[in-house]
Structure 1
Amino acid sequence: MSTFGSANTNPNKSYEVTQPPGDSISSLCFSPKANFLVATSWDNQVRCWEIARNGTVINSTPKASISHDQPVLCSTWKDDGTTVFSGGCDKQVKMWPLLSGGQPMTVAMHDAPIKEIAWIPEMNLLATGSWDKTLKYWDTRQSNPVHTQQLPDRCYAMSVKHPLMIVGTADRNLIVFNLQNPQVVFILLLVLKTEYKRVVSPLKYQTRCVAAFPDQQGYLVGSIEGRVGVQHLDDAQQNKNFTFKCHRENNEIYSVNALNFHPVHHTFATAGSDGAFNFWDKDSKQRLKAMQRCSQPIPCSTFNNDGSLFAYAVCYDWSKGAENHNPTTAKNYIFLHIPQESEVKSKPRTGATGRK
């Protein structure tokens, strides 16, 4: 087993969020309206901080928290920035009217842990993906789902940019939904398509994360083998598809745990179990910035609503099993990085062409 090259938890000199969770962090999400950051954790808690930035000075103030009965795996905000949804191993989603100080209430249920969650403002519906092999759409005012979609396997990843929804499941299935018709308009089970067998694709190994393009023309997919695929939906743009390696070091291969598009420049970040996060430009096929590796994995990350802050968690991600987890030495951190324009703004490709 490799060790991380440095014992430095914060080699990029990011700002450390105060009072982090007591166990590994499973998701991070910023309010779409203000700098409120929510984190979910394996300690059964959902926490919110208010982030204040003045130039390069950042302050974080714990604002509120709620509890689930079991570890919490996913979170999202309502588009008006008033309400947080969280789901996890207790098989339920809680709706937390955070800004009004209201009490959380259960608004969705599954038969197995809920791995992914998304609020779809264009439909005024909540989407939940579970290990029970279903995707459900909920009107939060009703106790039953408005639609239940059977999935080919357990839900591992989900991303929505209306009308495009991408769901990644076990066994390397990727399902593409057109939400203008919530019944599936077309399903791409990519591993079954012969043309995809000819390329070394991220779908050769387990899907870890997906991210819909901001222009809804395609999606990114990241896998446990340190590879990202850039996929376009239009048949006429298939020649733009490519895969690239990342989060690898000295023959060690690490999972790509998070894919986040910058809300302004539409470049994207990857974060991995190697403890690094990088910024990329898919259109010029280049890495814009490689950040130094932290001493623990990065299981999740997110941009704030204007892209001026990038939040990432640094903690054990369980990818090497319980036997490699030392609770006495393992600490949990949430860091805030201020992206520089040179790190996240597209620039023309120079020099050699081809795949990275």
Structure 2
Amino acid sequence: MAPEPEIGQTANEFTIDSPPLDTISSVNFSPKSANFLLVSSWDDSVRLYDVVGNKQRLTYNHKGPVLDCCFSDGVHCFSGGLDCALKTYDFNASAEQELGRHEAAIKCVEFCNQMGVVVTGSWDKTVKLWDPRQPQPTGTYSQPDKVYTMALADERLVVGTVCRSRVMVWDLRNMSYVQQKRESSLKYQTRCIKAFPNKQGYVLSSIEGRVAVEYFDPSPEVQKTKYAFKCHRIKESGMENIYPVNAISFHSVHNTFATGGSDGFVNVWDGFNKKRLCQFHRYPSSISSLSFSHDGSSLAIASSFLHEEENANPPEDAIYIRSVSDTETKPK
């Protein structure tokens, strides 16, 4: 993909006041409003921010670092982390509840609107489905290895594990068998998976500065169109430094997607036409999470030191809210 010019920091971007005090694991805009942002962190907290007012509306805590969080609707959220607990919070009632537990850390939390179920992926090598009205999971399903990343495409669940070559595709309506067992197109560990808004496929990234575009349809003619490309690599002093691609977020209107890497850059891609649309300015630290708002008007960018990185004096964790334009996100 041909490089595009870097787009610098301008007046259309600001930082959130009172950010978390440790690594930011996840940022998620509300599915109902571009005003509210849910953030989980290694400081044991889950925070809800009013983006327009730039203030923290509420916070609740786990008994350990929180690795993921998600909204179910505009007034409820779910979270999980190293304390192995799945929690839910009701914003209207200001009430939290523990729904249940895994035997090891909960790495991923997703909500399936079509079925009204919460999906958790854990380092105990299982995926669990939860009815928010019940204290026990409705099902527990073994995975090949520790779950590292997950994505939903309606009732389809895509699971990436620590074992780099395995990607499992499940159908939440019938979890008695794996719908597809896929071999990753990438040679190194999968870091992030996100599904296309049109539900036709997914994008996955690796620790080795690569991104793959995959399609669910197993027919040979469709599988011929999948591809992978290099990104988040910087040439310095004659050497090419390669960085993990930690975060992916899709623009719900244009089907384009943003990637964030440990190089501190955010790129926006047109996956169908195999083009990079733009690159923003370099952020102070690794990009740990990204989230487009439901209407595509804003992008939340978590600039945050990751725990596997070596830095004696890392920059402070920060969340940037960037107003994005069609010029930056619409296929050309």
Calculate the TM-score normalised by the size of structure 1: 0.86
For 1:302, the equivalent position in structure 2 comes to 291
Contact kept in structure 1, 2:260 and 2:267, CA below 8 Å: yes
Equivalent residue of 1:104, what SS? strand
- Look up the match of 1:257: 246
Secondary structure (helix, strand or coil) at the match of 2:180 reads coil
Question: Does the Cα contact within 8 Å between 1:318 and 1:325 map onto a contact in 2?
Answer: no
**Is 1:132 the counterpart of 2:121 in the alignment?**
no
Question: 2: distance between equivalents of 1:247 and 1:43?
Answer: 28
Residue in 2 aligned with 1:196? none
Aligned twin of 1:60: 54
Partners of 1:296 and 1:237 in 2: CA distance: 38
1:12 aligns with 2:9: yes
Does structure 2 retain, via aligned residues, the 8 Å contact 1:117–1:128?
yes
- Specify which of 208, 214, 217 is matched with residue 197 of structure 2: 214
2:100 to 92, 105, 108: 108
Equivalent residue, structure 2, for 1:158: 150
TM-score, normalising length from structure 2? 0.92
Answer whether contact 1:32 1:304 (CA < 8 A) is retained: yes
Aligned partners of 2:209 and 2:230 also within 8 Å: yes
Asked if structure 2 preserves the Cα contact closer than 8 Å seen for 1:44 and 1:71, the reply is: yes
1:345 matched to 2:326: no
2:169 to 158, 176, 184: 176
CA deviations over 1:226-275 (Å, ceiling 9, x no partner): 10000112223011110011111011111111111101111000011110
Structure 1 runs, 4 residues or longer, greater than 3 Å off: none
Spell out, residue by residue over 1:82-134, the C-alpha distance to the aligned partner (whole angstroms, 9 max, x if none): 10111100001110001x13221001310001000111111111100000000
Identical residues among aligned pairs (%)? 40
Q: How does 1:1-356 map to 2 (within 5 A)?
A: 12-13=9-10, 14-34=13-33, 35-52=35-52, 59-78=53-72, 80-98=73-91, 100-172=92-164, 173-190=166-183, 201-202=185-186, 204-234=187-217, 235=219, 236-250=221-235, 251-321=240-310, 324-326=311-313, 330-347=315-332
How far off its partner does 1:11 sit? Answer: 5.5
- 1-structure distance, mates of 2:83, 2:312: 23
8 Å contact from structure 2 (residues 206, 244) kept in 1: yes
Q: Aligned in 2, Cα 1:101/1:325: closer, same or farther, shift over 3 Å?
A: farther
Contact 2:131 2:138 in 1 (8 A): yes
**CA apart distance, 1:291:** 1.3
Which residue matches 2:3? none
Letter in 1 for 2:58: A
Task: Report deviation, 1:12.
Answer: 2.1
- C-alpha contact (below 8 Å) 2:298/2:321 kept by paired residues: yes
Q: Of Structure 1 and Structure 2, which has the larger fraction of its residues in helix?
A: 1
What code does the residue aligned with 2:176 have? Answer: Q
CA distance in 1 between counterparts of 2:28 and 2:318 reads: 15
Shift of 1:185: 4.3
Aligned residue pairs, count = 316
Q: How big is the alpha-carbon RMSD for the aligned residues of Structure 1 and Structure 2?
A: 1.5
Measure the CA separation in 1 of the matches of 2:271 and 2:48. 32
For 2:51 and 2:282, how far apart are their aligned partners in 1?
24
Partners of 1:184 and 1:278 in 2: CA distance: 36
From the two aligned structures, give the one with the greater strand fraction. Answer: 2
